[in-house]
Structure 1
């Protein structure tokens, strides 16, 4: 059996000068996602990974790597450690070089992962794992969908992880989406406003409320999470972090004409360095404003903004919980095609 040198990295350089480890991890991530998904549009850049390990606004990143005797990176586990809320939780994602047995590589990293969790005082774990669309033997707590058994899922099971939820990844063609919802009108009681980059101060208080409610209002399977504590400074820091990492942020909000309060928001992001894909992040409508078609109206307005400001972006990738029929229906209305899936696994203490 091949033995790997396992190392914990708490610093991956700066956005201007990402470390060699950050560059190698990003390159491996591309190869792994192309092998698993057939595309690599969601892979973080080395600049983002460097920013992530120094973030104190929301979640600080730590990277665990496994390097072979030939000096080649064999795999990694990227951990996200919330710093303001859910501070007992650790979010995890891993990639292994295609051709290697993923479970065996991860098994050698596991002792260092446990040591990191102990040092950081974390006893709740969320693991995001690529899956296939075809289904399999392991069903989540939600009862919607199933994933195939692999050496990685076997390892997760050994350490007390259970499949909580499955997310479906959609690919949306920008031109097709704009055509399919051309003529969409916002409910007469609301209007939309869009911008690129930092959040305007006039929307700050409203976004604090929406981001806070968003953190617990989306389908989360069997996950037990605290309400995220958002304030205006956290939003400003998140905006600065995105800019430093070379991410372009495009947002649209729905505004209640009667009260002036924000009823919802949606967010797209893409790399400033180029590429043809953007990622759909949050879309959230406050409970008291639902039933007015605001989700679709905001997405349409943001698509128009994307086409005007970033015409090189040809497609959007987004993921939704398999049981979130409302959002899945919107994505399908936009012409979205299911292209991949990922399982969300949960564990407490025993990991």
Structure 2
């Protein structure tokens, strides 16, 4: 056990150049080292500038607590508090330097974060644990299955042991996959043909980057609401944000302010003139070699026409045209979403690991007594 651990709130500097940015830079570096330990690369780590931009998200307040030992930052917990919906929720990302793990630092940080969240009126906490593919055992005895009954995390994992000991319950699993870019041109042609034959000329593709054309704004809002409805009950929080065109514009503004780019392909049902499917890829401001697949959604009544395959192939081709430095795309999928997992497999995605989502309900303190 490490003695004399000091927990404090991280000061967020205005820029990375000033003398007051040293702690912030050190905290971001902790996150990078933890991701190197977990995944063997820093593809999923924030750059300091990226993290600074993310902290300005108007839909989410973020507070970072740090653990210091002899003045050195050895652990961090990022506390995300949604501001538009799920106002009882707090999401934690806990990172402890490898050499300070299993020494009580994480528990102290987590307890401090829970106290902070409770003081902010948050009663439900979500944390995640990350597990590379090589750590996933085929032995049932080594598998912890979530409440949803689908997927598993490795029972013997340090992170799993920690989450259970601190009172968290595994709710659901997300499969984490990666695909090298650019896609093979022969594969693109084959998959495009397969999708086109299935939809028999009844649909038309539309593309844009960053901002949706006015004509499709309400259609995009409807698709985002469909995506919320498609979320498995085990992965849902109580409140789901209901989108309209104005909210889409605000979300675009926030994304652009963070320096991020968004590559979008949508599909129109020609007979009705309605948008019935959408897929998006996010490109970070500082690292255009690593990109992220976001929502892919198809309206329920138009499923079965391989529209998911059609729009994902087209969007990955457009991504390479606009951002030729992109070398890998990452995505997370619920294991119950078998159609998208199959599409990803056709595109060349490989399972990189799993993320476990854990929940803890904080006790209701009731009204304060005077």
| Superposition TM-score, scaled by structure 1 size | 0.90
Q: Which residue of 2 aligns with 1:173?
A: 180
C-alpha displacement at 1:22, in angstroms? 3.9
Q: Which residue of 2 aligns with 1:105?
A: 105
The answer to whether the 8 Å contact 2:32/2:46 transfers is: no
Cα distance in 2 for partners of 1:235, 1:12 equals: 29
Structure 1, 313-322 or 6-15: larger mean CA deviation: 6-15
Q: Which residue of 2 aligns with 1:32?
A: 34
Cα distance in 1 for partners of 2:339, 2:361 equals: 30
Cα distance in 2 for partners of 1:52, 1:265 equals: 24
Describe the superposition over 1:210-240 as per-residue Cα deviations: whole angstroms up to 9, x where unpaired.
2122124133535443221323333223222
C-alpha displacement at 1:103, in angstroms? 7.0
Please show how residues 1-351 of structure 1 align to structure 2 within 5 Å: 1-2=1-2, 3-9=4-10, 11=12, 13=14, 19-56=21-58, 58-69=59-70, 71-101=71-101, 104-133=104-133, 134-135=136-137, 136-148=142-154, 149-176=156-183, 178-183=185-190, 184=192, 185-186=195-196, 187=199, 188-219=201-232, 221=234, 223-350=236-363
| Superposition TM-score, scaled by structure 2 size | 0.86
Number of corresponding residues = 349
Q: CA 1:79–1:41 in structure 2 vs 1: closer, same or farther (change >3 Å)?
A: same
| Paired residue secondary structure (2:163) | helix
Q: CA 1:73–1:13 in structure 2 vs 1: closer, same or farther (change >3 Å)?
A: same
| Paired residue secondary structure (2:153) | coil
Describe the superposition over 1:183-205 as per-residue Cα deviations: whole angstroms up to 9, x where unpaired.
41442221111112222222221
Cα distance in 1 for partners of 2:175, 2:329 equals: 14
Describe the superposition over 1:228-284 as per-residue Cα deviations: whole angstroms up to 9, x where unpaired.
132333322322222232222111111121222211211111223344221111111
| Paired residue secondary structure (1:144) | coil
C-alpha displacement at 1:122, in angstroms? 0.8
Q: CA RMSD in A?
A: 2.5
| Paired residue secondary structure (1:221) | helix
Cα distance in 2 for partners of 1:140, 1:178 equals: 39
The answer to whether the 8 Å contact 1:94/1:129 transfers is: no
Cα distance in 2 for partners of 1:145, 1:13 equals: 42
The answer to whether the 8 Å contact 2:11/2:23 transfers is: no
Structure 1, 256-265 or 172-181: larger mean CA deviation: 172-181
| Paired residue secondary structure (1:117) | helix
The answer to whether the 8 Å contact 2:175/2:335 transfers is: yes
| Paired residue secondary structure (1:229) | coil
The answer to whether the 8 Å contact 2:49/2:286 transfers is: no
Gaps of 5+ in 1: none
Q: Which residue of 1 aligns with 2:367?
A: none
Q: CA 1:82–1:178 in structure 2 vs 1: closer, same or farther (change >3 Å)?
A: farther
| Paired residue secondary structure (2:104) | helix
C-alpha displacement at 1:68, in angstroms? 1.9
Cα distance in 2 for partners of 1:16, 1:199 equals: 35
The answer to whether the 8 Å contact 1:47/1:245 transfers is: no
Describe the superposition over 1:275-323 as per-residue Cα deviations: whole angstroms up to 9, x where unpaired.
4221111111121221111111111111111111111112211111223
The answer to whether the 8 Å contact 1:15/1:51 transfers is: no
Structure 1, 225-234 or 120-129: larger mean CA deviation: 225-234
Describe the superposition over 1:55-109 as per-residue Cα deviations: whole angstroms up to 9, x where unpaired.
22x322221211221x322121112211111111112222221222157222111
Q: CA 1:292–1:15 in structure 2 vs 1: closer, same or farther (change >3 Å)?
A: farther
